[in-house]
Amino acid sequence: MPEPAPALSVVVPAYDEQEVLGAFHARLVAAMEGIGRPWEVVYVNDGSKDATLPLLLTLREADPRVAVLNLSRNFGKEIALTAGLDHARATEAVVVIDADLQDPPEVIPDLVAAWAEGFDVVYAQRSVRHGESWMKRTTAAGFYRVMQNLGGRVELPKDTGDFRLMSRRALDALLRLRETHRFMKGLFAWVGFPSRAVLYERAPRAAGTTKWNWWKLWNLSLEGITSFTVGPLKIATYAGLVTAVISLIYGLQVIAKTILFGNPVAGYPSLMAVVLFLGGVQLMTLGIIGEYLGRIFNETKNRPLYLVERHLPSGE
């Protein structure tokens, strides 16, 4: 029989994390024991190709507070996280944290303390980002600015990843959002509720390598923008309007010239420039519409977000 549900759940998505999991678990246990409330940790194995799963099973053998959720394949961090949150048994609050020790487990007691003061969402905000290039920092800052200016109604807290604590009611609200395209930062923000930041220093990855690259980051930004704003569609509209007005003025000018000075068949360069420019604008606009259309297509399929190969709950 499972034991009564714990007060706190810690949800950890893990994809090929065999190098750090042992160290992570030790630090997590040390941090959680200081809080003095019953807790569990839900490890989600997101289709790892290394020894992550056997390692998690060993951890669970040794510690009944460990739950293991094994997904049927790699679904990506956002979905793995959702799967873990779906299976968190906590009655009071859940904590979301990365396995790679970039989010120090030692911050969790601070998150819990802020929650005890009455905040539903306590997000850990990075004060310093170690081991991240200038390039990554500036592009991240640029992304937040674009997101905001495109008129997304939800405000994304800056320098905040998924590392956070959520009360049970905030979690239940989040779990009602079942869209396939899951831009978690946006979903977290959409939920609202009284929120607070707790500052911490983000460490470089302890071991292993990040699964992110520039292409993935670009796609994540696209996901964020297209899932939370229709700004680009508006840009398309205005780009169309502006070119139409310019074309009209240019057209009138051409007509006036022809009437006044006759028609000395010139203008091949200007014709070419206009055709190419309009072609470019049209293709870009079609692309923007396509981005949204593709997402509508994916959402209408209504597939389950993930499939579970095995669920071993805590407390057994």
Kindly give the pairing relationship between strand 93-96 and strand 121-129.
Answer: unpaired
Backbone torsions φ then ψ of 10, nearest 5 degrees: -110, 125
Using CB under 6 A, which residues numbered 99 to 158 contact ligand UDP?
A: 99-100, 102
- Whether 104 contacts 24, CB under 8 Å: no
- Whether 176 contacts 102, CB under 8 Å: no
- Whether 289 contacts 236, CB under 8 Å: yes
What character string, x for contact with Mg ion (CB under 5 A) and - otherwise, covers 94-133? ------x-x-------------------------------
- CB closer to ligand UDP, 74 vs 285: 74
Asked if 77 interacts with ligand UDP (CB under 6 A), we say yes
Q: 223 contacts which partner out of ligand UDP, Mg ion, none, CB within 5 to 8 A by kind?
A: none
Asked if 159 interacts with ligand UDP (CB under 6 A), we say no
Using CB under 6 A, which residues numbered 37 to 56 contact ligand UDP?
A: 46
- Candidate residues 196, 211, 295, 311; the one interacting with ligand UDP per rule CB under 6 A: 211
- CB closer to ligand UDP, 67 vs 288: 67
- CB closer to ligand UDP, 98 vs 223: 98
Q: Which residues bind ligand UDP (CB under 6 A)?
A: 13-15, 17, 46, 74, 76-77, 80, 98-100, 102, 210-212
Binding-site ranges for Mg ion (CB under 5 A): 100, 102
